[in-house]
């Protein structure tokens, strides 16, 4: 049985009253495992048909599944092909609760990517700017976005202050899933208990207020703020909603009614937080979560200026020659960022931020020649003209994911996409009937 700090249990008994014993009992059960189906690549019905492990739907989010298996999925070819992203079902509830998304979305604290990915698949016509202050974590976020081949996500690694300074009134929706004391994760991550102390809630609340103050200028008039944490502390939850409604003038609004049966009302004593919801493991399967949705008053009309790309006509010609030769259909607008060439989401060029990625990284010029990036294959691989499409049972699937060269049976000489059952894993280059493996070294699965 997990040992919880005494002052924490006292606080939770006060908060939950007679429900405390049901909450405490959840520590004797294993946490649920969940994942999001990547609807940008596969419909939910088709996914359910081809996925071999037992799953159940998450009742409040059509893209969510609960995985009834302990099996590791990191090496699963469909995971490598970006068909799903592991996420706790409780963490899905905040995005599932949003009544609308709007066109431009900012996820302020996005790594490793759960909320961003939820929003990107639930609202495919939106652009999500996924920001993560910690550069190492931003790289992990980018890797997840690339694996899923999402075309509607751009990634930044900026401070909240810089977001507020450079992207004023740019966003219809700002997601603030902020660092917190993690009380809702005590069952799944017992290490969070070690970090807990009586002063931690006040310290987190001060940081949450500071981040919110910094990023609120990013929100358009009439825009929506989603505030969420994975803690039960009222100082970091309801009291922050009070702060947003009182000091910042935002208006709380109702979440979608579909999440109500799976969540509890907010804690008493905070009238402006009465529409916020709490996700508890004794009410629904998943770990703890708190969320509140608030609106910024007004309905100003905004003009959008597009920032021109710095690509030269010659560079555009060379990239178009490559994409026209290799890909069916158009990859969209192009832009250069450092040495990398991106197929940019058109809305990204209307937001004046310094991006790590502003869409799909297509590749870069090496000694004047265009070299494709892994992301080109994860996002456009299904449309690649030259393909080696492997059956799930083909031993070359694992060999490719190990980083080995594989035999080309259908792909012709030159660059090719390597797919499993039609879903791209990555790229390769066929030389004399052998596919030279272009699957990135850092992603290769170890050969046991
Ligand atoms: N939204 C993410 C998801 O769904 O996968 C989880 C975000 S996690 C709860 C909070 C994030 O805030 C961490 O990635 C952390 O690096 C970042 N963070 C920590 N301090 C921060 C600060 N002062 N300003 C902005 N972000 C911060």
> Concatenated DSSP letters for 273-308?
GTT-EEE-TTTSSS--EEEEEEE---------PPPP
Q: What is the mean pLDDT of the chain?
A: 97
Look at 3 and 15; give whichever has higher pLDDT.
15
Which atom of ligand 1 is nearest the CA belonging to 179?
10
With a Cβ cut-off of 6 Å, ligand 1 is lined by: 91, 109-115, 132-134, 137, 160, 177, 179, 207, 211
**What pLDDT score does 226 carry?**
99
CATH topology classification for 6-295: Rossmann fold (3.40.50)
Give pLDDT, residue 1.
Answer: 64
Nearest atom within ligand 1 for CA of residue 115: 4
User: Quick one: average pLDDT of 207-228?
Assistant: 98
Length of the chain: 448
Question: How big is the chain by its Cα radius of gyration, in Å?
Answer: 23
Q: What is the pLDDT of residue 301?
A: 86
Beta carbons of 176 and 228 less than 8 angstroms apart: yes
Q: Where are the strands (E) in 303-339, listed by range?
A: 334-337
pLDDT of res. 448: 73
User: Which stretch of DSSP H or E encloses residue 90?
Assistant: helix 89-96
Whole-structure pTM value: 0.97
Digit-coded pLDDT (tens) for 407-418: 999 999 999 999
Hey, which of 64, 174, 178 would you mutate to test ligand 1's pocket, going by the most ligand atoms within 8 Å of its Cβ? 178
CB burial of residue 18 (10 Å; 0-12, 13-18, 19+): exposed
pLDDT at position 252, please? Answer: 98
Which is it for strands 127-131 and 104-107: parallel, antiparallel or unpaired?
A: parallel
Q: What's the whole-number mean pLDDT along residues 73-88? A: 97
Same fold, 6-295 and 384-443: no
Average pLDDT of the segment spanning 324-347: 95
Q: Is the peptide bond before 112 cis (omega within 30 degrees of 0)?
A: yes
Which of 129, 42, 32 has the alpha carbon at shortest distance from 84?
42
Q: Does domain 384-443 have CATH number 3.10.450.720?
A: yes
- Tell me, yes or no, if 361 is annotated catalytic: no
Q: Which atom of ligand 1 is nearest to the CA of 116?
A: 4
Rounded to whole angstroms, how far apart are CA atoms 59 and 96? 10
Helix pair angle (238-246, 200-215), 10° resolution: 30
pLDDT at 186: 97
Any idea of the CA torsion for 139, 144, 150, 151, to the nearest 10 degrees? 10
User: What pLDDT, on a 0 to 100 scale, did the predictor assign at position 58?
Assistant: 98
Sketch the domain layout of the chain as residue ranges: 6-295, 313-378, 384-443
Tokens of 14: 């006060």
Q: How confident is the model at residue 88 (pLDDT cuts 50, 70, 90)?
A: very high
CA dihedral sign of residues 207, 213, 217, 223: positive
Average pLDDT over residues 76-87: 98
Q: Tokens in use for 233?
A: 């502390």
Query: How many whole angstroms from 346 Cα to the centroid of ligand 1?
Result: 26
Point out the ligand 1 atom lying closest to the alpha carbon of residue 91.
4
294: left (phi over 0), alpha (psi -120 to 50) or beta: beta
Q: What is the mean pLDDT of residues 64-76?
A: 96
Burial environment of residue 355 by CB neighbours within 10 A (0 to 12, 13 to 18, 19 or more): buried
Smallest CA separation from ligand 1 atom 20, residue: 179
Rounded to 5 degrees, what angle do the CA atoms 259, 44, 154 make? 80
CB distance 56 to 2 below 8 Å: no
Q: Does residue 335 carry a pLDDT above 80?
A: yes
Choosing from 170, 176, 180, 230, the catalytic residue is: 230
- Please state the rounded mean pLDDT for residues 227-236: 98
Q: How far is the CA of 364 from the centre of ligand 1 (A)?
A: 30
> Would the pLDDT of 80 be above 70?
yes
Q: Which residues, in sequence order, are bridge partners of residue 359?
A: 344
CA distance 298 to 220: 9
For residue 286, pLDDT beyond 80:
yes
**Mean pLDDT confidence for 203-223:** 98
pLDDT for the residue 264: 98
Question: pLDDT tens digits, residue range 294-323?
Answer: 999 998 888 888 988 889 999 999 999 999
Tokens of 174: 């700002």
| Residue 2 clears pLDDT 80, i.e. is over it | no
66-91 average pLDDT score: 97
d(CA 179, CA 74): 26
Copy the structure tokens of residue 389.
């499409």
The arithmetic mean of pLDDT across residues 199-206, rounded, is: 98
């Amino acid at each position: 049985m997990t040992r919880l700090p005494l002052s924490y249990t006292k606080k939770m008994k006060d908060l939950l009253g007679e429900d405390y014993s049901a909450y405490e009992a959840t520590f004797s059960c294993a946490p649920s495992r969940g994942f999001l189906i990547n609807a940008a690549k596969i419909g939910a019905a088709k996914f359910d048909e081809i996925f071999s492990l037992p799953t159940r739907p998450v009742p409040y989010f059509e893209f969510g599944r609960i995985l009834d298996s302990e099996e590791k999925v990191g090496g699963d070819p469909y995971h490598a092909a970006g068909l799903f992203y592991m996420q706790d079902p409780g963490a899905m509830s905040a995005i599932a609760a949003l009544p609308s998304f709007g066109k431009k979305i900012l996820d302020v604290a996005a790594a490793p990517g759960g909320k961003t990915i939820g929003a990107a698949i639930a609202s495919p016509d939106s652009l999500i700017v996924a920001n993560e202050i910690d550069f190492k974590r931003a790289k992990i976020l980018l890797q997840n976005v690339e694996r899923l081949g999402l075309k509607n996500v751009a990634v930044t690694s900026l401070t909240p202050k810089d977001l507020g300074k450079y992207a004023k009134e740019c966003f219809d929706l700002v997601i603030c899933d902020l660092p917190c004391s993690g009380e809702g994760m005590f069952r799944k991550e017992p290490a969070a208990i070690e970090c807990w102390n009586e002063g931690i809630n006040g310290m987190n609340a001060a940081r949450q207020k500071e981040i919110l103050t910094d990023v609120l200028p990013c929100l358009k008039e009439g825009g929506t703020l989603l505030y969420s944490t994975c803690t039960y502390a009222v100082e970091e939850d309801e009291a922050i909603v009070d702060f947003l409604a009182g000091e910042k003038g935002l208006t709380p609004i109702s979440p979608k009614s579909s999440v109500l049966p799976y969540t509890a009302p907010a804690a008493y004593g905070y009238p402006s937080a009465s529409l916020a919801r709490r996700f508890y493991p004794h009410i629904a399967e998943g770990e703890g979560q708190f969320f509140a949705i608030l609106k910024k008053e007004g309905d100003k009309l905004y003009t959008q200026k597009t920032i021109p790309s710095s690509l030269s006509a010659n560079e555009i010609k060379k990239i178009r020659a490559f994409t026209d030769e290799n890909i069916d259909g158009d990859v969209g607008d192009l832009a250069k960022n450092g040495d990398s060439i991106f197929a940019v989401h058109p809305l990204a060029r209307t937001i004046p931020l310094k991006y790590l990625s502003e869409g799909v990284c297509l590749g870069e010029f090496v000694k004047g020649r265009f070299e494709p990036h892994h992301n080109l294959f994860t996002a456009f691989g299904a449309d690649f003209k030259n393909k080696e499409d492997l059956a799930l049972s083909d031993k070359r699937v694992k060999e490719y994911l190990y980083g080995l060269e594989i035999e080309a049976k259908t792909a012709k000489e030159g660059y090719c996409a390597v797919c499993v059952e039609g879903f791209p894993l990555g790229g390769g280059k066929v030389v004399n009937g052998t596919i030279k493996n272009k699957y990135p070294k850092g992603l290769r699965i170890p050969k046991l």
